[in-house]
Structure 1
């Protein structure tokens, strides 16, 4: 990593939205998501302010945030002040291309990132929503070559800032860029998900991502997850898996289209609890339209449909197997 022209950099973003969930959820909180979390309401999805300091030897980041994404995704954090921290980490260069960072870090897992403007589609895939957006611990990053980068992590756990037991979790990631057009990565996680007063319940999770840029207009990406965990209240081990395919086509300088198809299968209800016989076995399809009036501004329109094995979408009427979301958003970053 080269030192920035100025050691200190300030950046930020705002993402506001209006979404209509046709299941009409009771209390307006949408189920199974953290993005476009509120139904039939203009609201702030995510806003953050980030300060970075970087030289050729040390670096640090502090980012604060708020919005309905924070309300949904950080609900398990017991300290309300902690919930306001998106990132808080510091790092030191140990050797050429080798950095050690510690603190609250962005997740090493997944294809899609937290800020909507960095993704092809406004809402996140089910697999992104149900794997960590952030993690707390220490990360060793080593640029093995210009094409290969590896990460080794020791973490408090699966997306938590405050520790939930005395055990520590492990993570690993490797990214490979054989050409300018192709990006590949593999990431994993291993840890005990049970509190100290219970018998250990170990989770082992794998994530694979691929992205290919065909031209300056057209790109595609794919991602797959597979996890196993010892079940609570049982000596058996359960599993879950997910897959996604996404594509984006830039129509012109100011307009773009994107689509995504995906499936998430958690029949054992390890990650997503539905209290139904089949658990969470759900497919989703999204179509997204972008208007880009300036490089740092996006106006997005998305239609997203869901189909589930069980009737899991609860609202004012009876629970249904199918659901539809319509959402529009403005996002700005500097």
Structure 2
């Protein structure tokens, strides 16, 4: 444990924003204390990250107060509704290659979440449901559900976060939680209300949204958070084999205008049925607010930069490549620039990025004939060394009339080195899916293209 802690500290101080989802704070509110300490008691330490306003961060809610707050429970409600116009016009209305969107040319409830945070006498807990398309899209990207009995993909499908824990008043706070929590890989939040853009680039969209296991949060100061994770695996409800995933995170906010994160998946064995193949991943971000003039028409500007690198080794794959073990790695980056106008009532975000992922082990499986991460499909293989390079760019406009709603319009252009995006013929056989998920259908093939352009209109609500 000591070696792991030192590794996280060393890596994190060298590189970088806040974890996906709502902030986890280690001060009195997180502990569930109902009142300040009495006379003669030790003074409370400064609450982490409360020394400045960080609502400008990508991946963090812009709200400063909750309307549903009581002494024991802080409630939360989220609604994410969208309409996507795909210029490829897939006849089956299916969007491929996205964790955030699944259907085109229709109005859909992408996510509806109800829940909140329980807090009392140092005991803490969080529950947030997930209904809408997220309830099926998120579990289908977890291949671990094929191992063993009891269908965890169904058991957890309506839950995005569910954990209990305990808080200690040590340093500036120490929390131990067990359950399903956000993954912290990829800067963007799982919840689109918190983000600068609706469709994140591949670095975020193709990396985990959740972990299932244990996490230990330590706040040495009100500007620094360290985390250790022991999880079932890489975005998985179960273990893929017999080895847990080990990871760690560092979040450092030295000033009100700078946020740095380093998230590191130190070791996992996350290829179903291949115990010899291991995985590592590092995800690092920096966010900088370099302009802030509240009275000016253009009142704020900030940027974020994220870079990732990972690999898989053993079991027929290697980082550098060999005749019997082709290259298997993930390298990617994404850059976003945000402008706020008219007292933060309007905002424009420009961004995009690129990835290279030989072996395609993190590329989202297109749902061809009902294919899932478990089934795979011969129409889009994921063999060691299979090439995959992709890029994307986006322009996002937000109208923010108050802190509880966002009206969003976004244009995306994506490209890949191999046919990947749904074309006009779609990815569903005539009459619907046939045979086993992902299997071949005689006389039929999916219509896959190398490019895709689309327009997304969304209404996002949070209380």
Kindly state the Cα deviation for residue 147 of structure 1 after the two structures are TM-superposed. 2.0
Q: Distance in 2 between matches of 1:202 and 1:260?
A: 32
Q: Which has the larger radius of gyration?
A: 2
Change (3 A) 1:316 1:232: farther
| Structure 1, 74-83 or 181-190: larger mean CA deviation | 74-83
Contact 1:310-1:321 within 8 A present in 2 as well: yes
Q: Where does the alignment leave 5 or more consecutive residues of structure 2 unmatched?
A: 1-26, 33-69, 146-150, 293-298, 318-323, 366-379, 426-446
Structure-2 residue corresponding to 1:264: 355
Q: Where does the alignment leave 5 or more consecutive residues of structure 1 unmatched?
A: none
Residue 330 (structure 2) pairs with residue 230 (structure 1): no
Within 5 A, what are the aligned runs for 1:35-114?
A: 35-55=100-120, 57-75=122-140, 76=142, 77=145, 78-79=151-152, 80-96=154-170, 97-114=173-190
Contact 1:193-1:200 within 8 A present in 2 as well: no
Runs of 4+ in 1 over 6 A off after TM superposition: none
Please give the TM-score of this superposition, normalised by the length of structure 1.
Answer: 0.93
Where relative contact order (Cα < 8 A, 6+ residues apart) is larger, the structure is 2
Kindly state the Cα deviation for residue 26 of structure 1 after the two structures are TM-superposed. 5.3
Contact 2:392-2:413 within 8 A present in 1 as well: yes
Within 5 A, what are the aligned runs for 1:1-334?
A: 1-3=27-29, 6-25=71-90, 27-55=92-120, 57-75=122-140, 76=142, 77=145, 78-79=151-152, 80-96=154-170, 97-189=173-265, 190-195=267-272, 197-214=273-290, 215=292, 217-230=300-313, 233-234=316-317, 236=325, 238-253=328-343, 254-272=345-363, 274-275=380-381, 279-316=387-424, 319-334=448-463
Contact 2:201-2:354 within 8 A present in 1 as well: no
C-alpha distance after superposition, 1:300-322 (max 9, x if no partner): 00000012222322323553322
Contact 1:25-1:314 within 8 A present in 2 as well: yes
Contact 1:2-1:56 within 8 A present in 2 as well: no
Please give the TM-score of this superposition, normalised by the length of structure 2.
Answer: 0.68
Number of residue equivalences: 333
Q: Distance in 2 between matches of 1:228 and 1:329?
A: 35
C-alpha distance after superposition, 1:123-177 (max 9, x if no partner): 2221111111111111011001122210001000001123332211101011111
| Structure 1, 216-225 or 19-28: larger mean CA deviation | 19-28
Name whichever structure is richer in strand by fraction. 1
